[in-house]
């Protein structure tokens, strides 16, 4: 069906200037009726080979994206750049180091099963965001957290512009920004940045002063050795 769905249907949509999901779904019955009329042929064998669904079959799980992974000894499963921490317990510890199957639904929901048993887990995000509330509540670290938050916003912009990330991964980044309250870029407070800059300037000046004092002592020591005197 590739030449039908990827070639003929695409051209029909373009001829009718259809560019939205709603308009495409409305046109689909008309396309199917025309396609069956032009290319439909009666089956050589009228026998219906469909079989009834068994009681142990779950179509919602069958029609999921499934991949196998090896769970680490620490009960960690890596799947699509996300680490899933399986809750340790007497029912999950025996599965450490074994092959597991990961099920992902269209809405992003994920299940991890091993030998048919559902494993409870909690996702671990390697790219956690600083929450806006933490910046407001923490008076001493507010300036530093604001700088970190600004760098995170720049990092998210770069990741969202990358063509290597899937739409689902970009949606996950947007959801994390909404949860952290940083969906709209907010520059850090000016007084906070000046405080951080002042601290860095003082630290750099102190480092230069220590280096100069150390070099001066070395120069005096070398001069004393050259003159045959015992260095202080």
Q: What is the pLDDT of residue 149?
A: 65
Nearest to 151 by CA among 174, 126, 182, 175: 182
Q: Which residues pair with 68 in a beta bridge?
A: 101
- H-only helix segments in the chain: 2-3, 9-15, 21-39, 59-62, 132-137, 142-161, 167-180, 190-226
3-state secondary structure of 70: strand
pLDDT tens track for 163-206: 777 777 778 777 776 766 655 544 444 555 566 667 667 777 88
d(CA 158, CA 130): 17
Q: What is the pLDDT of residue 181?
A: 63
Q: What is the pLDDT of residue 147?
A: 60
* Overall average pLDDT of the 72-92 stretch: 90
Strands 82-86 and 99-104: what pairing?
A: unpaired
Q: Which residue has the higher pLDDT, 228 or 62?
A: 62
Q: What is the pLDDT of residue 188?
A: 47
Q: What is the pLDDT of residue 143?
A: 55
Q: What is the pLDDT of residue 186?
A: 47
Q: What is the pLDDT of residue 70?
A: 94
d(CA 55, CA 125): 37
Q: Which residue has the higher pLDDT, 155 or 105?
A: 105
Tell me the pLDDT of the chain averaged across its residues: 80
d(CA 226, CA 218): 12
* Overall average pLDDT of the 224-232 stretch: 66
Q: What is the pLDDT of residue 56?
A: 85
* Overall average pLDDT of the 131-135 stretch: 54
Q: What is the pLDDT of residue 174?
A: 78
Q: What is the pLDDT of residue 15?
A: 93
Q: What is the pLDDT of residue 207?
A: 80
* Overall average pLDDT of the 144-162 stretch: 70
Q: What is the pLDDT of residue 185?
A: 45
Is the pTM higher than 0.75? The answer reads no
């Amino acid at each position: 069906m590739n030449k039908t769905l990827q070639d003929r249907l695409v051209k029909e949509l373009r001829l009718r200037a259809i560019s939205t999901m709603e308009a495409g779904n409305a046109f689909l019955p008309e396309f199917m009726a025309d396609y069956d009329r032009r290319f439909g042929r009666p089956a050589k064998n009228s026998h219906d080979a469909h079989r009834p669904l068994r009681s142990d079959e779950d179509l919602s799980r069958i029609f999921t994206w499934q991949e196998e992974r090896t769970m680490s000894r620490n009960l960690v499963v890596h799947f699509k750049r996300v680490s899933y921490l399986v809750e340790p317990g007497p029912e999950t510890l025996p599965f450490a180091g074994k092959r597991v199957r990961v099920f992902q639904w269209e809405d992003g929901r994920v299940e991890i099963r091993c030998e048919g048993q559902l494993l409870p887990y909690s996702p671990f995000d390697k790219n956690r965001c600083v929450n806006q509330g933490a910046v407001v509540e923490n008076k001493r670290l507010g300036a530093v957290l604001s700088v970190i938050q600004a760098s995170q916003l720049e990092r998210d912009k770069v990741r969202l512009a990358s063509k290597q990330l899937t739409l689902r991964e970009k949606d996950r980044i947007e959801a994390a920004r909404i949860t952290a309250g940083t969906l709209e870029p907010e520059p850090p407070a000016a007084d906070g940045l000046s405080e951080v800059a002042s601290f860095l300037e003082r630290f750099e000046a102190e480092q230069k002063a220590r280096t100069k004092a150390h070099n001066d002592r070395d120069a005096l020591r070398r001069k004393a050795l050259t003159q045959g005197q015992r260095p202080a």
